[in-house]
Structure 1
Amino acid sequence: MKPEIRSLAGGLAGAIVLNIIHEAAKRFSHKAPRIDKVGEEALTKSLHAVGASAPTGNALFGTTLAADIASNTMYYAMIGKGSKENLLLRGAGYGLFAGLGAVGLTQKLGLSDKPVTKTTETKVMTVAWYLLGGLAAAFVMQKVGEYEDSHGPILSI
């Protein structure tokens, strides 16, 4: 498997882990971050800025979820650049910085930060979940690489 494909596979794994945690937690805790609300606001404002209508209801949620998975996949895929020896450390770094960015940059980007900063616990959960996404991405990249090192390529693309 080409390194780029391995990185994308890991990035997708990290994005899926992140979104599963977000979606599950919001059903169990009112303090859970609502990054989906930030994404919906960003998508709506972006579409309105170019004169397009934004979807509403389930269509808005689905579109935002798809965009979130795609963007987080690409972000986490960057963990795969560099040496194999530092994958988990890079995964932790990328995840940590994404979480800190979600907490610290949302308002600076013109979006409501309340969904990710409403309590201290919300802030900690936001950072922790992005960190877990980065670690999941790096772990998948590492394990695919180890498998290929001992068994040969998974895909010949």
Structure 2
Amino acid sequence: MNNILKSLAGSLAGACIVTAVHETLRRQVSDAPRMDILGMRAISKLMLKADTTPPQDKDELHTWALAGDIVSNTLYYSLAGTGKDAWWRGTILGVAAGAGALLLPGPLGLGEEPSNRTTKTQVMAFSYYLLGGLLAGAIGHALSDEE
């Protein structure tokens, strides 16, 4: 398996864990971040800018947002790559994504509440993305041909 496929395997795992943790905790914890809402808003906003009507059915829009999260996070976490330094790259990517989850929604016009409602919400949002980066880096490292 070449390094690109190995990197994508790790990044897909990281992206899926971010989405799975988010979807599980948002149903069980009142202060959980609602990154799905940010995704739904982003998709609607982009589609309207492109003179396209976004899905009117909330379940369909939610599905699009989850799929978009997995695809975009997979591509992002793939930057962790493989090899002995994949851990560090994954960690840095996770920290950057976590910071972005807290700092970018407001300036992007998506609203701040879904990721910044409470301190607990902020810690959870940051932690999801850090976990995704750590997992992508760990798998990239484990699949590496380097010692």
- Matches of 2:16 and 2:29, distance apart in 1: 20
Match of 2:65 in 1: 64
Deviations 1:30-78 (A, max 9, x none): 1000000000000001001111010122110111111110000000001
Post-superposition shift, 1:149?
A: 6.0
- C-alpha distance in structure 1 between counterparts of 2:112 and 2:43, whole Å: 15
Q: Please say if 1:31 is aligned against 2:28.
A: no
DSSP 3-state at the match of 2:30: coil
Counterpart residue identity of residue 69, structure 1: I
In 2: Cα distance, 1:51 partner to 1:42 partner: 14
Question: Normalising by the residue count of structure 1, what TM-score does the alignment of the two structures yield?
Answer: 0.89
Looking at secondary structure, tell me which structure has more helix per residue.
1
Match of 1:52 in 2: 52
Paired residue total = 146
Compare CA radii of gyration and give the structure with the larger one.
Answer: 1
CA distance in 2, matches of 1:57, 1:27: 16
Unaligned runs of 5+ in 1: 151-157
% identical aligned pairs: 38
Q: Moved runs in structure 1, 4+ residues, more than 3 A?
A: none
Tell me how far apart the structure 2 counterparts of residues 59 and 85 of structure 1 sit (CA, whole Å).
40
Q: TM-score if structure 2 supplies the norm length?
A: 0.95
Distance in 1 separating the partners of 2:113 and 2:11:
27
The Cα RMSD (Å) is 1.3
Question: SS of 1:108's equivalent?
Answer: coil
5+ residue gaps, structure 2: none
**In 2, distance between residues paired with 1:36 and 1:135?**
21
